[in-house]
Amino acid sequence: MKRESIVPAACAAVTYTVLCHPHHHTVFIVLTDGPGNKDDITRSKNEGKELSKEEKQRLRKQKKQQKKQKERKNEKSETEKEKTPVSLLPPPRPVATQKAPSALPAPASAPIPVPASAPFHSSPAPSPADKPAKSKAELKAERRARQETDRAAKQPGSSSSGIKTKVPLSELNPVVKRLPEHVQVDDPAVVKRLAKKLERQQIPLRSDYGYKVSLFSHLHQYSRKAPLTQQLSIPSTVIHPSIVRLGLQYSQGIVAGSNARSVALLHAFKQVIRDYTTPPNEELSRDLVNKLKPYISFLNQCRPLSASMGNAIKYIKKEISNIPSQCKEEEAKTKLLTCIDRYIEEKIVLAAKAISKYAIEKISDGDVILVYGCSSLVNNILCEAFEKSRKFRVIVVDSRPRLEGREALRRLVQRGISCTYVLISALSYILPEVSKVFLGAHALLANGYVMSRVGTSQIALVARTFNVPVLVCCETYKFCEKVQTDSFVSNELDDPDDLMVTRKGKTQLENWQDVSSLGLLNLVYDVTPPDFVDLVITDLGMIPCTSVPVVLRVKNLDQ
Amino acid sequence: IKDKLVEYFRTQVRQDPEVPSAVAAIRTLLEFLKRDQTGETILGLRENLTQTIRRLEEADSSVAVSSGGELFLRFISLTSLEHPDLSQCKKVMVERGELFLKKISLSRSKVAKLCHTFIKDGAKILTHSSSRVVLKVLESAAADKKRFTVYVTESQPDSAGRQMADKLQNLNIPVTVVLDAAVGYIMEKVDLVIVGAEGVVESGGIINKIGTYQLAVCSKAHNKPFYVVAESFKFVRLYPLNQQDVPERFKYKADTLKAVEDLAEEHPMIDYTPPSLITLLFTDLGVLTPSAVSDELIKLYL
């Protein structure tokens, strides 16, 4: 058993004797501390002075050691009890328990063997992996509880002052902002936690597919050929069928685009609410929110949630929890349904109208407008401007593997707008002709960065070099409290098989999995810094990119 | 009645050449409010006010009149929300209007107080055309016993720079007039550039006499600070993307707009300086960076 202990210098002599014992695989790390450290601490405690950092650390270690001592004693008593009924015990254990008590009582401050990875490379005994981990967690919890009680005891009149300090804080921050956690697939602890959570909610865990490029190994990478719905039993008792359908639509890319996904989500939730009945002895406001949680995890597994979907979910949860308890079920349900309808109407449909109104002012006759990919909002603006008989022509820029520009091209040409179609590699060739660039956004981050389809920041960069104004159109419900300065930390990896292309009967990259040094990267989003964006058109008006946090602040005050 | 108001406006400007045109416009509107007997509803009042503002803009097409008018309208609609009864509303409006006027007439001295500390002893300052705010700033810096020299661009087509030079000479400040074309030549000698503004737009950029833009570009190339001094009533709800995007009605003088058929022949009187070239804006709301202008505007209008 690998063990490591922390010993104050005063006890070095005693521990030396223990170290020499052949069976006792213990490593002692000696702290070089000043004389009478323990006395110092007790003295300063009694004086009520603030402990210095070192002293606090020492105090913590002492407490840990004391707890370990207690644990060891408990363990020892348990194993001793175990010894009598069960004769077959692994040899290191009784040896350790026998030796430990001999070592323990001798020094006053008790060096306690701490189960940890030690530089002392002894063969690891077959001790159960869970036991040391569990005891560590238990000890941590105990220590935290101890610390809390100590802290509370230290402060005079702690409860009243605690409440007093809490109240003005809550007045200052009525809205507690909980930012979405970053995805961390390469951290096993996080993955384990996620797996446990999904197990609790009875949702299957989707496994990653293929080799991931090292810079993005912290993100999920799923294959479209293995949707999560295949792992569900039908009929699923946990997940509502419209949510299952929605999840399939997301993962297969049938419903794509920020607005489309949000609207589909809200419609699916409406169906869920219609089919919902409150179980007996439960309140609708609390139970419905709990019912929605596994659905959201499921949808997250099918395809990571977008910022707009996150905001919509936050709104629905708030509305549900605001339902008064004396409200009857039918009434509550109709109220929720009208809320959702109103949200869609206000934040998406009417916002699009307001944005078109502002944007049309910026389109003058003779303009050559460049658009990228397929943004429902930008297409809307262009169609409205064309109806108001503005004379302009459009250049649609497209990129592989999604080739969304073709959809935008189809919609614009149907209206009769004259369009040109190029791939993104021809961007610097076509830009001298362009007078304005209109871009859509997936989300607008709190530091003014624009998160949009991959390729957008490239377009903004080249347009800035050519001195062409870049306008971003975005509704306010897509404004997100996140802060990001690069495209690595939080992004989405699409199916790498999409990068395979079949030309003249030959499929390039067909066997890319067999080549060990080859990785395919199919990014979905990127972030554009605010210096490349000249103007953001929102339903509140035209604002510079640096004013996004101001709008967020104003919105929070309204809520 | 509208012609009488335009006359009133013109006399205001003539009597006190120091008063900013926006203040004169607001005074005129307040006068209209006092004299107006015909208005029955608040909506009708607003309609009349909007029409008056339009007439005033026809008389003097500067950005300041437009921004002053819009501010007054905004301020009126806020008041009208609180008092639904018309006559009481009018009384409150007139009271608040007077208060507002008093506050903004002090704004120029507030700006001067903020800015003159940025002028150090021995500084060489470059300014453009004739701006009363910049004059006030330099005046207060001189009163603070600072020694500095000023270069003024001639600012064609109306040679406004020469008038500025005369005024500065009266204050005993050493001043030199340079050609508009000599801005690049003189830039290495100067320490800082201070200009006024006719309007401050939502992006944080400014609209000012033609020639300001190239002054800003030159100062950026030489890494000299480019300061703008403007009162807060000059903030206007425009967002030009480039020079072409500035509306026609501001670019030319009011008489030219009425007289001339083909505006492409005329030379514009103003240009737009984007916020990336501006270091700081000194306003009566404080010293702002260009991105803070939008913040202030959102607070005012949203």
B107 in contact with A, Cβ within 8 Å: no
Residue A220 has pLDDT above 90, yes or no: no
Mutation for testing the B interface, residue in A534, A535, A538, A557 having most B CBs under 10 Å: A534
For residue B149, list its beta bridge partners.
Answer: B124
Interface confidence, given as ipTM, is: 0.82
B36-76 pLDDT, tens per residue?
A: 766 677 777 778 888 888 888 877 777 888 888 888 877 77
Residue A453 has pLDDT above 80, yes or no: yes
3-state helix, strand, coil in chain A (%, to 5): 50, 10, 35
B81 in contact with A, Cβ within 8 Å: no
Q: Which residue of A has its CA nearest to B240?
A: A362
Residue A178 has pLDDT above 70, yes or no: no
B264 in contact with A, Cβ within 8 Å: no
What secondary structure, in 3-state letters, does chain B show?
CHHHHHHHHHHHHHHCCCCCHHHHHHHHHHHHHHHCCCCCCHHHHHHHHHHHHHHHHHHCCCHHHHHHHHHHHHHHHHHHHHCCCHHHHHHHHHHHHHHHHHHHHCHHHHHHHHHHHHCCCCEEEEEECCCHHHHHHHHHHHHCCCCEEEEEECCCCCCHHHHHHHHHHHCCCCEEEECHHHHHHHCCCCCEEEECCCEECCCCCEEEECCHHHHHHHHHHCCCCEEEECCHHHECCCCCCCHHHCCHHHHCCHHHHHHCCCHHHCCCCEEEECHHHCCEEEECCEEECHHHHHHHHHHHHC
pTM above 0.90, yes or no: no
d(CA B296, CA B302): 10
**Which of A149-163, A537-551, B20-34, B189-203 bottoms out in mean pLDDT, i.e. has the lowest?**
A149-163
Which residues of A are less than 8 Å from B239 in CB distance? Answer: 535, 542
d(CA B203, CA B207): 11
Report chain A's mean pLDDT, rounded to a whole number: 77
A7-32 pLDDT, tens per residue?
A: 555 554 444 444 444 554 444 444 44
d(CA A244, CA A465): 46
d(CA B117, CA A355): 43
Asked if A469's CB is within 8 angstroms of B239's CB, the reply is no
Which residues of B are less than 8 Å from A469 in CB distance? Answer: 241-242
**Which of A91-100, A438-447, B206-215 bottoms out in mean pLDDT, i.e. has the lowest?**
A91-100
Higher pLDDT, B290 or A155: B290
Which residues of B are less than 8 Å from A531 in CB distance? Answer: 276
Give A212-279 as a DSSP string: --GGGTTS-B--TTS-GGGGS-SS-SSS-HHHHHHHHHHHHTSS-SHHHHHHHHHHHHHHHHHH--PP
Q: Using 50, 70 and 90 to split pLDDT, how confident is the model at B165? A: very high
CB A470 within 8 A of CB A439: yes
Q: What angle do CA A91, A96, A97 make, to 5 degrees?
A: 105
Given this model, what pLDDT does residue A356 score? Answer: 95
Nearest to B294 among A362, A534, A547 (CB): A547
Cβ count near B227 (within 10 Å): 23
Residue A33 has pLDDT above 50, yes or no: no
d(CA B81, CA B77): 6
B302 in contact with A, Cβ within 8 Å: yes
Residue A90 has pLDDT above 60, yes or no: no
B166-189 pLDDT, tens per residue?
A: 999 999 999 999 999 999 999 999
Which residues of B are less than 8 Å from A471 in CB distance? Answer: 241
Given this model, what pLDDT does residue A126 score? Answer: 41
B241 in contact with A, Cβ within 8 Å: yes
B107-130 pLDDT, tens per residue?
A: 888 899 998 889 999 999 999 988
